[in-house]
Amino acid sequence: MNTYKLFTIILFSTVQLFSQSIPTGDHALGTKSYDDFEVSEVCQSCHNDIYQQWKQSMMSQSYTHHWDEIEYFELAVPHSEVDPKFKPVADGCNGCHTPMAFLAGDVTPPRPEENSRANDGVNCEVCHSIKGFEGKEPFNFNYISDPGDVKFGPKDQLESPHHSTLKIDFMSEASYCGTCHNEKNPENIWVKSTQLEWLEGPYSKEQVPCHQCHMPKALGKNSIMSEKDMVAQHLFHGAHDPGKVAGVVEIRMHPSEREVEIDGAVTINVQLFNAKTGHKFPTGSVEDRILWLDVTATDSEGRVYHLPVDKKGFKGEEYTIGSDELAYVDMGIPLRLPDFKGVQRDGIPVGSRIFRMPYFDKNGIMTIMQWNTHTLGTDYRIGPRETKIETYTFEIPIDAAPGIMNFDATLNYQLLVKPVADYLKVPLEESEIILVNTGSTWIEIYE
């Protein structure tokens, strides 16, 4: 074959690959069928190790996971029935949570218990058929999905008896993940912005994409018939892995004075350094998550005092300090409870500092229904490599015993605020307290 002919063929196939206009985002609804995608068990026969990792990750449970099922079937879908304006957004949940169902036009998909193909969630084929995204920035499932014989991957010229392969640089970039990890709701509010947070932070400048922390490379075989090589692990471990959450923030604390008179006061400084995340902490489903710092003092006779955080005086600070007021009143709309008063906003000790960004409905009340968010409050999360300082001014109580007084700080995390989890009967694991880290210091009290 002469070079000219070869060149034409290459040019033609490149043009073919990239010029076909494949609908994305909302426009992709119903443009494919389930049969365009292979089931993950087919891939398992040769890629068993990767399959077993994926099966244990949240990706394979993105449709079947209990809290997803509850939020989708008990809040989002009923909300779209009460108010049809929300129909596209409720269908759109599937664009990220079960892309095959969305692309096949199978919306609302059957419940997980019916064991339909929607259950496969974000599976091998979904991810390995993505070759780019449409528009300026990745968000709202604007990925370009092109399933077929060619599986896109990170390596050049691999041979497989089952399929062709093609190296696509895009797969190894953060914007690939951003197609599902950034989300704008119908009010044009960024209700999920993990990739955008990463872009603003230090890790993007150092070319450390999501993959380095969530799909780290290790020596192994990427299929049963491969040679050993560095292989991208399919862990996707995040907030649902207590080991990943452990130690995300390091805590050091010290008193303003070491020796304090019995009727004196001391200020405890607590520094919180986010050493581990590539984006803010918490990120992703920020409307659900709660991260809070509890500080106690224990005197030499074992009496325990709970310390409220010193106020800093910034706008919206009231949402960053544990309170027992009610919120989440808008859940009453899909639940068809017009007189619903809401449930407790935080469910944590009153006075504790919370690191969060509140989401508000149109009445200015906090919501966990991200699609119903009208405004975002002050962002008081801890950014990548950011250090926040909290202070606790404590007047030594007159009943405190002289001697050593210990101060202990505990940084706790919950995937879903407990009062909401309890009200919606979400299984306990979603509101279990996960320990992020602890810190301690002491003073000596003299008479």
Tokens matching residue 161: 């008896």
Contacts with ligand HEC by CB under 6 A: the residue count is: 95
Answer yes or no whether residue 279 interacts with ligand HEC by CB under 6 A: yes
DSSP tag of 72: I
Report H helices in 307-431.
418-423
Short-list 188, 202, 366, 175, CA closest to 286: 366
CA count, 13 A, side-chain hemisphere, 7: 3
**Using CB under 6 A, which residues numbered 91 to 110 contact ligand HEC?**
92-93, 95-97, 99
**Using CB under 6 A, which residues numbered 211 to 270 contact ligand HEC?**
211-215, 222-223, 225-226, 231-232, 234, 236, 238-240, 244-245, 248
**Using CB under 6 A, which residues numbered 187 to 206 contact ligand HEC?**
194-195, 198, 203
Partnered with residue 261 across adjacent β-strands are 446
The identity of residue 350, as a single letter, is V
Between vectors from CA 169 to CA 165 and to CA 172, what angle results, nearest 5°?
100
Q: In what helix (H) or strand (E) does residue 56 lie, and over which residues does it extend?
A: helix 48-56
- Shortest distance (Å) from residue 178 CB to ligand HEC: 6
| Residue span 16-55 as binding mask against ligand HEC, x where in contact by CB under 6 A, dash where not | ----------------------x-x-xx-xxx--xx--x-
Stretch that binds ligand HEC, among 28-36, 64-72, 297-305, 437-445 (CB under 6 A): 64-72
114 vs 169, beta carbon nearer ligand HEC: 169
Q: In what helix (H) or strand (E) does residue 92 lie, and over which residues does it extend?
A: helix 87-97
Answer yes or no whether residue 354 interacts with ligand HEC by CB under 6 A: no
Answer yes or no whether residue 417 interacts with ligand HEC by CB under 6 A: no
195 vs 412, beta carbon nearer ligand HEC: 195
Beta carbons of 135 and 180 less than 8 angstroms apart: no
Short-list 308, 333, 305, CA closest to 318: 308
Rounded (10°) CA dihedral 104, 50, 93, 285: -170
- Pick from 118, 127, 249, 411: which binds ligand HEC (CB under 6 A)? 127
114 vs 159, beta carbon nearer ligand HEC: 159
- Shortest distance (Å) from residue 147 CB to ligand HEC: 9
Distance (Å) of CA 288 to CA 13, 195, 331, 358:
46, 18, 13, 9
Answer yes or no whether residue 289 interacts with ligand HEC by CB under 6 A: yes
- Pick from 140, 431, 437, 441: which binds ligand HEC (CB under 6 A)? 140
Stretch that binds ligand HEC, among 88-96, 309-317, 351-359, 401-409 (CB under 6 A): 88-96
- Pick from 210, 295, 321, 331: which binds ligand HEC (CB under 6 A)? 210
**Using CB under 6 A, which residues numbered 302 to 321 contact ligand HEC?**
none
- Shortest distance (Å) from residue 164 CB to ligand HEC: 9
How deeply is 69 buried, as exposed, middle or buried, from its count of CB atoms within 10 A (0-12, 13-18, 19+)? middle
**Using CB under 6 A, which residues numbered 380 to 399 contact ligand HEC?**
none
**């995300």: which residue's tokens?**
248
